[in-house]
Amino acid sequence: MVRPLLVKVTCGADDAERANQGLTVAATALAAGAEVDLWLAGDAVWTAVAGRPDPFLLEHAAAPRDLVAAVRAGGTVTVCSQCAARRGIGEADLDPGVRIAGAAVFVETALRDGVQALVY
């Protein structure tokens, strides 16, 4: 049995390699059959805003919005409520299936039995 995986990405264009690594791990884990919860915080939230171009692109790496879309297709994608509010982003601004939630939901998810959490 594959353990559930919680991946939190806390950066965006300001640290593109770290952000892309977290998004790639989340998408890869989902493809491997894991239950994946991807949390986007800080400037990572821009990767889930509908109609917005990729906030960064890296050579030899999948596009960030494509990776988030892959996770959305079979996992859960959540945008940090405070991070969204600071950027003027509401639920209606996000890609279909992306939710906004706060620290209490993150902690609840992280403390479920068997969850492995990774923060990037």
What is the 3 state secondary structure string of 44-80? HHHHHECCCCCCCCCCCCCCHHHHHHHHHHHCEEEEE
Q: Can you give the pTM of this predicted structure?
A: 0.96
pLDDT higher than threshold 90 for residue 25: yes
**Cβ 79 vs Cβ 40: under 8 Å:** yes
**Residue 67: domain span:** 5-119
CA distance 2 to 73: 18
pLDDT of residue 2: 81
Count of domains for the chain: 1
Instruction: Give residue-wise pLDDT tens across range 44-90.
Output: 999 999 999 999 999 999 999 999 999 999 999 999 999 999 999 99
90-111: pLDDT as tens digits: 999 999 999 999 999 999 999 9
Count CA atoms within 13 Å of residue 24 on its CB side.
Answer: 12
- 62: domain CATH number is 3.40.1260.10
Express as a percent the part of the chain with pLDDT over 90.
Answer: 98
pLDDT higher than threshold 80 for residue 1: no
Reported residue count of the chain is 120
